Chains A and B, each alone.
Chain A
Amino acid sequence: MQPRRTKTLFVTALLGLAWTVGIAFGLRTLLAYESTPGTIGAVPRQWPSTSQIERLTNRPTLVMLVHPRCPCTRASVAELAQLMARMQGKVDAYVLFLKPRQSGVEWEDTELRRSAAGIPSVTVLSDIDGVEARQFGAETSGHTLLFDRDGRLLFSGGITEFRGHVGDNTGVRSIESLVNGRTPARTATSVFGCALVKRSQEGDKPGWLK
């Protein structure tokens, strides 16, 4: 009886140790992934002249580029909804949803798109094959850019501080400051979301799989 008990104790200790180490490692990995931002392309300083989107000339224009199926971008759209509510018409926004040319209607028919369409002063458009995204230098879903009435870039980056987490963040605060004529804390932030395009030199897997 006693040896069996000792063996069980030993197994318990081993399992406990493994349990502790495993959970610590798992949490560390998870948090590392969630805190790792996506890539950012070559962002233009002026509104791209080749862009098919009509820029407003009487107020700042906000552009968010979104992968319609990215779960992390739900937080960005949620932040956008709050931002637009606080702006009270001082700014208009375009949310451009990536749409491969050969994809069907179901590609865009997502909860994310419906959420964005429901935000006041927000125009939802499809970005066929990510043409607009490339022009705006956006490579990560949720990338948001703010241009003034003259087409100058005021802000570029994400409006969440953590992958998939809503909450107070530098991006939103900076946009608010810029629209209200104040000096922003930053004009560029990290973007957390799915990749909008493949970058051949990094492979086609998300960062945490590499």
Chain B
Amino acid sequence: MAKIAEQSLQSNGWTDRADELFQQHRQEIYRNTDQLFARLMLFQWVAAIMIAMIISPRTWVGQSSYIHIHIWAAIFMGGAISVFPIWMTRAWPGAALTRHIIAVAQMLMSVLLIDLTGGRIETHFHVFGSLVILSFYRDWRVLIPATIVVYLDHFLRGIYWPYSVYGVLSASPWRSVEHAGWVIFEDIFLVISCLRSIREMRFVANRTAALESSEQNFRQIFEEAPIGMAVVGLDSRYAQVNASLCNMVGYSEEELTSRTPSEITHRDDIDKDKQLTQRLLSETTRTCVEKRYVRKDGEIIWATRTACLMRDESGKPRHYLAMVEDITQRKKDAVALEEAKNEAERANRAKDDFLAALSHELRTPLTPVLMSAAALEQEPGIEPELRRQFGMMRRNVELEARLIDDLLDLTRVSRGKLQLLFSGPVDVHSLLAHSEQIVHSDARNKSLVLRLELTANEHHVAGDAARINQVFWNLLKNAIKFTPAGGQITVRTANPTPGQLVLTVSDNGIGIDQQTLPFVFRAFEQGDIRGLQPCSGLGLGLSISKAIVELHGGTIRVESAGPGLGAVFTVELSTVLPFPEAQIQASRPRRFTGKSYRLLVVEDHEPTLAVLTRLLRDQGHDVMPASTVQDALALASDHTFDFVISDLGLPDGSGIDLMMQLSNDYGLRGIALTGYGMAEDLAKTERAGFLAHLVKPINVDQLHRVLERAQVAAG
């Protein structure tokens, strides 16, 4: 363990400090043991005198007595032995020489005591006890002079006065070796003990150095933390604060540590602050609060204060630790961001309003044209060529309307509000045929060969037929647009795996370079994609198509071998089982054969109103036109209607208000017919009580279908 700790220390460069601590500790032990021996020497000196006074106080000559030599020996020799080492502990405390002299003196004291007690064997234990006390130095080297003194004492006495030490008349020289051997026997264990103590001291020094370093790190972290930190005592006074907190609140460390947090807290936050402090004591271990501080200069700052209660080992609360982060700038930024967001939303609403108005204004003139063309196209008994011309008119108006729709759709896509109207299984082949019919004339005009190779057996998907049709139409238009005259466009369907429909629209047109491919499905990228002069259209079709396909759970991608090598657009969708009645027959002209209604048509665009009125009357409905709110209300008061078909933007009011009033006064239900097609507009008409919301331009078929659904909905 000590080794691991040491390695760790070395890796962290703390060995110098560990050495310093070790040396300090060792020096402290040396000095303390010096003092111990200084006191022991005095004690032994006094003890020697006492022993001499007890055992041999006087010597006698007949009836006369004199102080025994042992008394003088105890006083003078004991003093001589003791005084010099005591002086050394004062003059050279902790020095190696001091403890070595003490070791010699201690052994000499043993010699004296043994002599004073007449060589009693019990007194010899003083030698062994002294060695143990010398080992308090934890320096095994001091045992060396002590052992030498013992050996020399025994050796010399053994030669000259063997009886004084061994109690025999003559002693073998080896007797002193034997005596020294026992001393060395003890020395061995004392040396082992000293070495172990040194290892433990070094380990403790290493640990202490590590702890100091760790503590220093933590103190440095506290002092130099970029956020404010404080230790708050249980008396609610700051006990310790760091520089960041001082800078934050503008007080010096001295000023702050003489205050309580409440004194620098905004008065409106003081109660909350105290409640949280109480919670720390009773309930929770951590609190986090946004609060205001009052700086020394009076400025109010916002801060996030996270606090926790620190406890001691027994779980008793010790103090609080608080971390304070200045969030004033963040608060200001948040306000600024909120304002910017509001401004952006206002601008967005203005944009939406503009788009809605633009859509309305663009759609409205198209309505009578589309309705007339559509009605005439379906008029029985007209020449086929004429029917085709009307059809062409209808399709172009629809194309115009689609461009407007694209603009609105893009807005919906960007806001995630593009919604699908799932109408059951949709026949992709039928939709492709319909789309082909729409673009047929365009292809023919450019002398393009447009081929359909619809080989998929499973060609029904779940989705919004109109939106899927929009995708196909966009892909075909795109192919026609970027394929030079005489080119070829092929539409294929296949089922590579059961349940999967793959549709490809391939052309041998101008192709797409590799750098441009990733941007094909981005809005407004059309002009740059093909590297040509801007073509007709707004460049929104592919972007909207991608959103529609993905809303259907499918994928759309484009591949091109490069410029001049054509492009292949691939759409993958999941198939569903078909319902025979769900077959789309969009291309087949049909006539409305349902019941007739009494209709109040409100439209301020005179051409639209006229065409709509005529067409609806042609269908057998009882129609009463109105161009203002007041007219409409007047008619409603005089007549009974099944439905009201109303524009929203009217000269003297809103179609919304009109609908609400008619609904309230006469229980009338209605269909909104407007150029406003944004999501908000649809929501408004729904809230006003409209059963359906038709966006201009419309054709009569759409209106009929809506009337049928409205009748069902109205009961």
A interface, CB within 8 angstroms of B: 8, 11-12, 15-16, 18-19, 22-23, 26-27, 29-31, 33-35, 67, 69-72, 74-75, 98, 100, 103, 130, 141, 161-162, 164-170, 194-198, 204-206, 208-209
Contacts of B59 in A (CB 8 A): 70-72, 194, 206
Q: A23–B69 contact, CB under 8 A?
A: no
Q: A165–B61 contact, CB under 8 A?
A: no
A183 to B583, CA, bound (A): 153
Q: B84–A16 contact, CB under 8 A?
A: yes
Contacts of B91 in A (CB 8 A): 8, 11-12
How far is the CB of B105 from the nearest CB of chain A, in Å?
8
Q: With A27-B111, A30-B73, A162-B163 in contact, do A69 and B62 touch (Cβ < 8 Å)?
A: no
A169 to B101, CA, bound (A): 36
Contacts of B108 in A (CB 8 A): 23
CB-nearest residue of chain B relative to A11? B91
CB-nearest residue of chain B relative to A21? B80
A34 to B167, CA, bound (A): 13
Q: Most chain-B Cβ atoms within 10 A of its Cβ — which of A164, A169, A208?
A: A164
How far is the CB of A150 from the nearest CB of chain B, in Å?
30
How far is the CB of A170 from the nearest CB of chain B, in Å?
6
Interface flag for B60 (CB, 8 Å): yes
Contacts of B60 in A (CB 8 A): 67, 69-70, 141, 194-195
Q: With A19-B84, A26-B80, A31-B161 in contact, do A103 and B69 touch (Cβ < 8 Å)?
A: no
Contacts of A34 in B (CB 8 A): 115, 161, 164
Q: B61–A205 contact, CB under 8 A?
A: yes
Q: A103–B63 contact, CB under 8 A?
A: yes
A39 to B68, CA, bound (A): 18
Q: With A23-B80, A71-B55, A71-B68 in contact, do A166 and B118 touch (Cβ < 8 Å)?
A: yes
Q: A164–B80 contact, CB under 8 A?
A: no
Q: List 17 A-B contacts (CB under 8 A).
A: A12-B91, A22-B80, A23-B108, A26-B76, A26-B80, A27-B111, A31-B160, A71-B58, A71-B59, A71-B70, A162-B161, A162-B163, A166-B118, A168-B169, A198-B64, A206-B66, A206-B69
Interface flag for B418 (CB, 8 Å): no
Contacts of B58 in A (CB 8 A): 69, 71
CB-nearest residue of chain B relative to A205? B66
Interface flag for B81 (CB, 8 Å): yes
A8 to B93, CA, bound (A): 12
Q: A30–B115 contact, CB under 8 A?
A: yes
Q: A169–B163 contact, CB under 8 A?
A: yes
Interface flag for B424 (CB, 8 Å): no
CB-nearest residue of chain A relative to B92? A12
Contacts of B77 in A (CB 8 A): 23, 26-27, 30
A180 to B69, CA, bound (A): 39
Contacts of A170 in B (CB 8 A): 169
Which of B76, B164, B166 has a CB less than 8 Å from the CB of A31?
A: B164
How far is the CB of A206 from the nearest CB of chain B, in Å?
5
Contacts of B62 in A (CB 8 A): 67, 98, 100, 130, 195-198, 204
Which of B68, B70, B88, B163 has a CB less than 8 Å from the CB of A12?
A: B88
A209 to B160, CA, bound (A): 23
Interface flag for B65 (CB, 8 Å): yes
Q: A-B pairs with the 10 shortest C-beta distances?
A: A167-B167, A71-B56, A194-B60, A26-B77, A161-B163, A195-B61, A162-B163, A19-B84, A164-B118, A22-B80
How far is the CB of A106 from the nearest CB of chain B, in Å?
13
Interface flag for B57 (CB, 8 Å): yes
